[in-house]
Each structure stands twice: as C-alpha cells, then as structure tokens.
Amino acid sequence: MESNKKEPTNKKQSKYQTKVAQVMHEFKEGELHSGKSDVIVTNPKQAIAIALSEAEGLDKKTKK
C-alpha cells in the first residue's frame, strides 16, 4: 500500500508571493494604508488589489 503523505518541498516563494503575503499581513494587523494617505484599509478586496499592484511594481523595478 502506498501512503498518501505528501513529501515536503523546499521551494522558495517567489518575490510576488512574498510581497502579497507581506501586504496581507499588514492588512490583518490593521496597519495597511491606502496610498500615501492615513486612511486604513478595511476591505479585504481592496487589500488584495493593493498587494497585486505592489507585486506588479516589483517587476518594473528589476527590468530597468
């Protein structure tokens, strides 16, 4: 019989996944601000949009 255990993988997270995780952590702690203002983000959909936008910006910085 084969066991159904998954073998642990030691893959590193991509820079996009790391950035999204960082922004979502800020959102959960109540520290995520919208833009340069002091308005704290309370909508999870807005937090995801900010995370993806910031992760997309990483690619533009490295291509210069």
pTM of the model: 0.69
Angle between helices 15-29 and 44-62 (to 10 degrees): 150
Angle (CA) 41-63-35 rounded to 5° is 15
Q: Which two tokens stand for residue 19?
A: 């950035």
pLDDT tens for each residue of 3-60 = 667 666 666 678 888 999 999 999 999 999 988 888 999 999 999 999 999 888 877 7
State which H helix or E strand residue 27 sits in.
helix 15-29
* Per-residue confidence (pLDDT) for residue 10, from 0 to 100: 60
